[in-house]
Amino acid sequence: MKLNKIATYSNAFRSLEDRVMRHLRFILLVGALVLPSSGCLIPMYSGDPVRRAQQLIYTSEDLRAITDEWERIWFLDQPSHMTPYRTHGGIL
């Protein structure tokens, strides 16, 4: 009698495992089919043409400012610090 209960419990647990695995496989299959074809789920720009144009202008201005920041970080926007003539570093 006790052995029969253990076998029933084992079968019930196995069927629960099977359902969970089937569900997980289904979710992974749907994800594998949907994700590559959908692109971004949330659009970056607005659907309103006027607002979208404003957002595109802001984005392009930000991208243009990145080059200025890059040059400022690497001191490319400064005049050369190397002098064309030699200076004596000591006290005269």
Residues 6+ apart with CB under 8 A from 21: none
pLDDT value of position 61:
85
Over residues 27-81, the pLDDT tens digits come to 999 988 887 776 676 788 888 999 999 999 988 888 888 888 888 888 777 666 5
pLDDT at position 91 over 70: no
32/67 same-domain check: no
Per-residue pLDDT at 35: 76
**pLDDT (tens digit, 9 = 90+) per residue, 7-17?**
565 666 678 88
**Whether residue 47 sits in one domain with residue 35:** no
Tell me, yes or no, whether 35 and 58 share the same domain: no
2 and 30 together in one domain: yes
3-state class (DSSP) for residue 68: helix
- 83 within some domain: no
Please state the domain count of the chain: 2
pLDDT, residue 8, reads 61
> Would you say residue 91 lies in a domain?
no
Structure tokens at 71: 């040059």
Question: Could you give the CA distance from residue 33 to residue 25 in angstroms, rounded to a whole number?
Answer: 12
Domain that holds residue 74: 43-78
